[in-house]
Structure 1
Amino acid sequence: MRDFSLEITSRDVAAIPAAAELIPAGTRINVTFLSNEEPATTVAAARAVLDAGFVPVPHLAARRIRSLDVFMSLLEQLQAAGVAEHLFLIAGDPAQPEGPFSDAASLIRAVRLADYGVREVGIAGYPEGHPNIATDVLWASLDEKLGELRTQGLAPVVVTQFGFDADAVATWVGEVRARGYDGPIRVGAPGPAGVKRLLRYASRFGVTSSAGIVRKYGFSLANLMGTAGPDTFIRSLQDAVARDAALGEVAMHFYTFGGLDATAAWARDFVAASGGAS
């Protein structure tokens, strides 16, 4: 929790002023790349994050980029807006690419990103797997992306899909370290939200949500009208990191699901209840 990050969409930009006083200055705020928006919307949202005193991390979804020229133009727009230093590259949702890019690695290979002011690139990790991608393919993809970033001299950061099982996440982080990556890992978790909403997102992203797992996370399937926060999940993960120094640098990344102010207030209260940064 010393250096947690947040994830929003461009629709959440209006909530930034009210939430700003709750969020530590310099916090990374990822801005997702939505399928129904023009690239200029992502650029403008990232600039709003910067103007509010935070570090914008705009997402670029490979399968939604129609050509190399479009990709280069988008990078130029981000650079001109002063928000290209930190990027998050991901394959994206379309089953078939809309252009020549099928995954994040193909974006990394396409151009010299540093020429556009890029210094750090986030890539995705899946501690509880992916509904449409085999586990061995996920590992090979992670290795490939890290290798491409090393070749370009860019700083990588691995940001995971959200999950409910801290034990599975700790095991996965250990495997990442065993494969030779010693850089930052940001572990995804949903901010406080209604139980029904959490389960809906879990189903959408293929995250394990069995009765045993959700009990470990801290809510009951018998109370679908209630809300739940990641308190239990984080404390379990903190215990795992404390037990095993080999897990290295781990920070939290919160998916706000439209509730930036609620997530920011929860994070402030969690840190305060823990006696300060933890």
Structure 2
Amino acid sequence: MGGAARNLATLMTGVSLEMTGKDVPELAAARELLPAGTRINITSLATEDLSLRLAAARAVKAYGMTPVPHLSARRLTSVAELDETLAALHTIGASENIFVAGGDPDRPQGPFPDSLSVITSGLLETHVVRRVSITGYPEGHPGIPDDALWPTLTSKLAALEARDLHAEIITQFGFDADPVLDWIAAVRERGITAGIRVGVPGPAGVSRLLRYATRLGVATGTGLARRFGADLLATAGPDRFLEALATDYHPDRHGLVGLHFYTFGGLRATAQWITDTEK
């Protein structure tokens, strides 16, 4: 096995995937393809209420996998709502692993303007949260100045360490391996040792990928089509991205790195792609 193939096998060990509350049928269709314990992130969408996300977390647990519910800071209307959300997750055994993000709203709907304010609320520890994932932005963020991203990241990691909460970074998905690897190297140069999961777009229609990428400021249509070698009506997989990532990934420089698949509603298709790739 060559170096790139060896690296890809390392990166593919223990991958995580993402779903919405409405994706439970997709999860049911994919469950035979996913190893026990697979981490499944459950997004927090404005169109899905807590009961739907709790049902998804129950399904993840029922299929022998690990739910990672999302908390969207700016969507929380009160401290009581955060407390009640965490209590409900704890009741069903789904509070140990949490992903905390600022969320989509430009203005906070309550007292939490960002993910750091959730982390420092003290409520995570109260409800037996053990592991917290936060977001990394290798290609920047359309709503956050670049010079603010590093102090924001280090502040969140310091707050998690102070509370004895295990930290993990999950990056936004991208299409170019070079800026991702450069960003990870810069993270390590700052003395940050937390595990990093690189966001990977699962197989999906290029037009759908473009919609998500444009919203997040990740890529242009021309660049996306060029990177995947496909037209906008085609379906693209992450093969080229992962090949480039594995080729230039150096464990001694980049540290502990894994993969997180954004499924865009295609959880079953992504699980099948992972299974086929690992053969």
Q: TM-score, normalised by structure 2?
A: 0.93
Equivalence map 1:228-243=2 (5 Å): 228-242=236-250
Please give the per-residue CA displacement for 1:182-220, whole angstroms capped at 9, x wherever unaligned: 1210000110011111111110111123645653x3224
Q: CA RMSD, aligned part only? A: 1.3
Alpha-carbon distance, 1:247 to partner: 0.1
Alpha-carbon distance, 1:173 to partner: 0.5
2:244 matched to 1:258? Answer: no
Name the structure 2 match of 1:270.
Answer: 277
Name the structure 1 match of 2:233.
Answer: 225
1:5, 1:252 within 8 Å by CA — same for their partners in 2? Answer: yes
Q: For the structure 1 residues 200 and 174, does the alpha-carbon distance in structure 2 shift closer, same or farther, using more than 3 Å as the test?
A: same
CA distance in 1, matches of 2:58, 2:155: 30
Name the structure 1 match of 2:130.
Answer: 119
CA distance in 2, matches of 1:130, 1:162: 12
CA distance in 1, matches of 2:224, 2:32: 34
Q: 1:28 aligns with which of 16, 35, 39?
A: 39
Name the structure 2 match of 1:60.
Answer: 71
Percent of pairs identical after alignment? 49
**Count of residue pairs brought into register by the alignment:** 268
Q: For the structure 1 residues 212 and 224, does the alpha-carbon distance in structure 2 shift closer, same or farther, using more than 3 Å as the test?
A: closer
5+ residue gaps in structure 2? Answer: 1-11
Task: Classify the secondary structure of the residue corresponding to 1:167.
Answer: helix
Alpha-carbon distance, 1:246 to partner: 1.5
Name the structure 2 match of 1:84.
Answer: 95
Equivalence map 1:108-257=2 (5 Å): 108-209=119-220, 211-212=222-223, 214-215=225-226, 217-220=227-230, 223-242=231-250, 245-257=252-264
1:60, 1:88 within 8 Å by CA — same for their partners in 2? Answer: yes
Q: 2:108 aligns with which of 85, 97, 116?
A: 97
Q: TM-score, normalised by structure 1?
A: 0.93
- Spell out structure 1 runs of 4+ moving beyond 6 A: none
Alpha-carbon distance, 1:237 to partner: 0.8
5+ residue gaps in structure 1? Answer: 273-278
2:210, 2:221 within 8 Å by CA — same for their partners in 1? Answer: no
CA distance in 2, matches of 1:149, 1:194: 37
Q: Name the aligned partner's letter for residue 228 of structure 1.
A: A
CA distance in 1, matches of 2:241, 2:160: 31
